Chain A
Amino acid sequence: MKTGAKLLVESLQREGVETIFGYPGGAVLPIYDELYDAPIRHILVRHEQAAAHAADGYARASGRVGVCLATSGPGACNLVTGIATAYMDSVPLVAITGQVPTFMLGNDAFQESDITGITMPVTKHSYLVKRAADLGQVVKDAFYIAGTGRQGPVLVDIPKDVMTAQIDIELPIGRAKLRGYQPTYEGHALQIEKAVALIGEAERPLLYVGGGVIASGASEEVLRLAELMLIPVATTLMGLGAVPCDHPLNLGMIGMHGTEAANYAVTECDLLIAVGVRFDDRVTGKIDAFAPNARIIHIDIDPAEIGKNKPVDVPIVGDAGKVLQSIIRRLARTEGREMWLARVGHWKEKQTVKDGEDGLSPAYIIGEMSDLLGDRGIVVSEVGQNQMWAAQHYCFRRPRTWISSGGLGTMGYGFPAAIGAHFARPDETVVDVAGDGSFQMNIQELGTVVQYNVPVKVVVLNNMYLGMVRQWQELFYDRRYSYTELPAVDFVGIARAYGVDGIRVEEKEDVRPALEAAFATAGPFVLDFRIEREANVFPMVPAGAAINEMIGRRQR
């Protein structure tokens, strides 16, 4: 005989779970009691939202399913933003929540909330486990659903009496059995033939790759296709790192704050090969003006993404890596794309001029950081200008080295996600690029990094504004900075109070030494860069404009 809680912990071990991010409470006490001597490491965060983000960062950095744990009611509700963040970016996550005992369900008992109901629109699937005997199978299915197909968060809500029930049962053997869930991995042969033909014929092809390529581990295939057929590559925010930043065919990021080369190329291409992307409005701008003259091949594991925002000529449902392999196998090396490559190269060259480097410019800081870290770094970001500067100026060379909330754009994501990334990849230097606003959304996690000596470096690009919103107010609301100014915060002082070391940087010549000091420190570190207050992110495509209608192009 064993308790439901024990069965749960055994099931988690069986799924290979090593690390859980969580926060205790009455409704999960039986699980915490089991964790006390289980060979699973539990990281106590300071807010449940951070538990979800940390599990998400762990998943993105490692490619494995992240796990978070919270108590019923308020604990569960605090996970919601983290679950929604993971949902929007298709991150494999299992969120376990405690629930009031089954006989109290629906009675508005103390700390009851209908968390399966609350999270239904932001989970891939969810379970309310009513019998302890079901726990083993549910855990098996939950991990299977979270980590396969288009990945995503799965919620497992467990009433307290289910945790304490005594049952006599072995763990279910074998794999999940779900008759309504059979993801497609291999692309349809006929569609692949069509794609091969189009790729052969195209004069101005462009690869448009996104998070799906990272999730599928298809970077190598993308590069092979690009090199074999001489196709330039534009990556989405989520696709950064899919191809090395300094590869000659890489045009950089596409979209609202994308590069001129990427945005012009998509406007002029005659074939768009979209891989693991979803034609997000932050990428496409005005949808009719996106790739207006191109045939479109769309490869995605989620059939519902294909044709959702834009009609496509060749839909291919399947795993990006597998599909690209079958395409490449049928292709012969090409030549004669010199005109197109020259045109694209010309745009690329034009844009390499760096903007204002006199003050403490964010581009300079990120550039130095990139230089120092080389291949050692994982960059996590918050949301806002800091995110775009990191995306634009850091040189990402490998997949899973850029971790950022793309779909939901969650401020406060970066710091806890960085903690998760560290536990997934302890040998890498993990940096959270932050804004002063975003950092303050989960700044309490300084407590967590101290407790577990997590050597995360926080690089605050401190402009004393909610910078990105201020930028929009500057450009579109006549500089009326309505409630976007933040009073100066002594981040180094706060860090010290928690026991974390830090430096404030105000001069350009101090940037590099400060970064070196941070990276040389064994533990966590906070760098407070007082940047130019009204620095902007350029180029920029105004919301709703065509993607090649970029404003504020860099002068000089």
Chain B
Amino acid sequence: MKFHTLHVLVENRAGVLSRIAGLFSRRGFNIESLAVGTCEEAGMSRMTIVVLGDDAQIEQVKKQLNKLIDVIKVSDITEQSTVARELALIKVAAEPGETRAEVMQVANIFRAQIIDVGAKTVILEVTGDSEKIDALETLLRQYGIKEFVRTGKIALLRGQKAIRSMK
């Protein structure tokens, strides 16, 4: 069992997301994360889906996704050279003074931005791969995380290669 990253090109139509989500729940596949948005091709969206499974299960996921009429292309990019990013917003308890200074220092190390400062909290914005965000979360826990939200992973192949509707 390991995490696979699937890149899925779909028609940008009402109901696509629920078809895909429904497929996962009905077949008992577990979605770790799913990010979706419009892309450079008109009328299409790109999805990045992270799913945990063994080879046979991932094979089924891909085949079942491919069966959906609105799915144009499915690629497993786990083994490929990619750039992958996730964005997270983290609201941390940080009273003015020593704590706040420490939090800001941590933020600095992780190249996170402070995007809001409240009376007793700050909000950090960080992008990076999932491990980096996990690491930052672990570090910030000692100060107290009030709220934490992440987008899920998005990914593209490196270099010339591209996943497009036409080959």
**Interface 9-mer from A12-20, A178-186, A271-279, A488-496:** A178-186
B64 contacts the other chain (Cβ, under 8 Å)?
yes
Given contacts A128-B14, A179-B72, A179-B165, contact A304 B19 (CB under 8 A): no
B31 contacts the other chain (Cβ, under 8 Å)?
no
Given contacts A120-B22, A304-B60, A307-B56, contact A180 B68 (CB under 8 A): yes
Q: Is the CB of B56 within 8 A of A181?
A: no
Residues 102-121 of A at the B interface (beta carbon under 8 Å): 116-117, 120-121
Given contacts A180-B11, A180-B72, contact A304 B64 (CB under 8 A): yes
Q: Is the CB of A302 within 8 A of B67?
A: yes
Point out which of A117, A145, A181 has the most chain B C-beta atoms below 10 A from its C-beta: A181
Q: Is the CB of A120 within 8 A of B18?
A: yes
Q: A190 CA to B63 CA in the complex, in Å?
A: 21
Q: A116 CA to B66 CA in the complex, in Å?
A: 20
Interface size class of B (residues with CB under 8 A): 20 to 34
Q: A304 CA to B71 CA in the complex, in Å?
A: 14
Given contacts A303-B63, A304-B60, A307-B59, contact A180 B69 (CB under 8 A): yes
B26 contacts the other chain (Cβ, under 8 Å)?
yes
Q: What chain A residues lie within 8 Å of B14 (beta carbons)?
A: 128
Cβ-neighbour of A303 out of B22, B66, B165 (below 8 A): B66
- Chain A, residues 86-116, CB within 8 Å of chain B (1/0): the string is 0000000000000000000000000000001
Q: Is the CB of B15 within 8 A of A128?
A: yes
Residues 96-131 of B at the A interface (beta carbon under 8 Å): none
Smallest Cβ distance from B24 to chain A, in angstroms?
11
Q: What chain A residues lie within 8 Å of B165 (beta carbons)?
A: 179
Q: What chain B residues lie within 8 Å of A330 (beta carbons)?
A: none
Q: What chain B residues lie within 8 Å of A117 (beta carbons)?
A: 18
- Chain B, residues 63-80, CB within 8 Å of chain A (1/0): the string is 110111111110000000
Q: Is the CB of B69 within 8 A of A125?
A: yes
Q: Is the CB of B69 within 8 A of A124?
A: yes
Q: Nearest residue in B to A127 (C-beta to C-beta)?
A: B15
Q: Nearest residue in A to B73 (C-beta to C-beta)?
A: A180
Q: A419 CA to B69 CA in the complex, in Å?
A: 31
Q: What chain B residues lie within 8 Å of A121 (beta carbons)?
A: 22, 26
Q: What chain B residues lie within 8 Å of A179 (beta carbons)?
A: 11, 72, 165
Q: Nearest residue in A to B69 (C-beta to C-beta)?
A: A125
Q: Nearest residue in A to B65 (C-beta to C-beta)?
A: A304
A308 contacts the other chain (Cβ, under 8 Å)?
yes
Q: What chain B residues lie within 8 Å of A128 (beta carbons)?
A: 14-15
Q: Is the CB of B15 within 8 A of A116?
A: yes
Q: A544 CA to B117 CA in the complex, in Å?
A: 62
Q: What chain A residues lie within 8 Å of B69 (beta carbons)?
A: 124-125, 145, 178, 180-181
Smallest Cβ distance from B33 to chain A, in angstroms?
22
Q: What chain B residues lie within 8 Å of A308 (beta carbons)?
A: 60
Q: What chain B residues lie within 8 Å of A145 (beta carbons)?
A: 69
Smallest Cβ distance from B76 to chain A, in angstroms?
15
Q: What chain A residues lie within 8 Å of B59 (beta carbons)?
A: 307
Q: Is the CB of B26 within 8 A of A304?
A: no
Residues 6-23 of B at the A interface (beta carbon under 8 Å): 10-11, 14-15, 18-19, 22
Q: Nearest residue in A to B23 (C-beta to C-beta)?
A: A121
Smallest Cβ distance from B17 to chain A, in angstroms?
11
Q: What chain A residues lie within 8 Å of B11 (beta carbons)?
A: 179-180
Q: A304 CA to B22 CA in the complex, in Å?
A: 17
Q: A476 CA to B67 CA in the complex, in Å?
A: 39
Cβ-neighbour of B67 out of A120, A304, A311 (below 8 A): A304
Q: What chain B residues lie within 8 Å of A178 (beta carbons)?
A: 69
Smallest Cβ distance from B49 to chain A, in angstroms?
16
Residues 299-317 of A at the B interface (beta carbon under 8 Å): 302-304, 307-308, 311
Smallest Cβ distance from B134 to chain A, in angstroms?
34
Smallest Cβ distance from A540 to chain B, in angstroms?
29
Q: Is the CB of B15 within 8 A of A180?
A: no
Smallest Cβ distance from B6 to chain A, in angstroms?
15
Q: A221 CA to B60 CA in the complex, in Å?
A: 29
Q: A307 CA to B56 CA in the complex, in Å?
A: 8
- Chain B, residues 17-39, CB within 8 Å of chain A (1/0): the string is 01100100010000000000000
Q: Nearest residue in A to B165 (C-beta to C-beta)?
A: A179
Q: What chain A residues lie within 8 Å of B70 (beta carbons)?
A: 125, 180
Q: What chain B residues lie within 8 Å of A307 (beta carbons)?
A: 56, 59
Q: Is the CB of A304 within 8 A of B15?
A: no
Q: Is the CB of B19 within 8 A of A180?
A: no
Q: What chain A residues lie within 8 Å of B10 (beta carbons)?
A: 180
Q: A311 CA to B71 CA in the complex, in Å?
A: 26
Smallest Cβ distance from B59 to chain A, in angstroms?
7
Smallest Cβ distance from B41 to chain A, in angstroms?
10
Cβ-neighbour of B63 out of A116, A126, A304 (below 8 A): A304
Point out which of B56, B60, B63 has the most chain A C-beta atoms below 10 A from its C-beta: B63
Smallest Cβ distance from B138 to chain A, in angstroms?
39
- Chain B, residues 48-66, CB within 8 Å of chain A (1/0): the string is 0000000010011001101
Q: A178 CA to B10 CA in the complex, in Å?
A: 12
Q: A404 CA to B73 CA in the complex, in Å?
A: 35
Q: A145 CA to B69 CA in the complex, in Å?
A: 8
Q: A128 CA to B14 CA in the complex, in Å?
A: 9
A–B complex contacts, Cβ < 8 Å, 13 sampled: A116-B15, A120-B19, A120-B22, A121-B22, A125-B68, A145-B69, A179-B11, A180-B11, A180-B72, A181-B69, A303-B66, A304-B60, A304-B64
A-B pairs, top 3 by smallest CB distance, nearest first, are A304-B63, A125-B69, A180-B72
Seed contacts A120-B18, A124-B69, A178-B69; 18 additional CB < 8 Å A-B pairs: A117-B18, A120-B15, A121-B22, A121-B26, A125-B69, A125-B70, A128-B15, A145-B69, A179-B72, A180-B69, A180-B71, A181-B69, A302-B67, A304-B60, A307-B56, A307-B59, A308-B60, A311-B56
Contact surface of B with A, Cβ cutoff 8 Å: 10-11, 14-15, 18-19, 22, 26, 56, 59-60, 63-64, 66-73, 165
Contact surface of A with B, Cβ cutoff 8 Å: 116-117, 120-121, 124-126, 128, 145, 178-181, 302-304, 307-308, 311
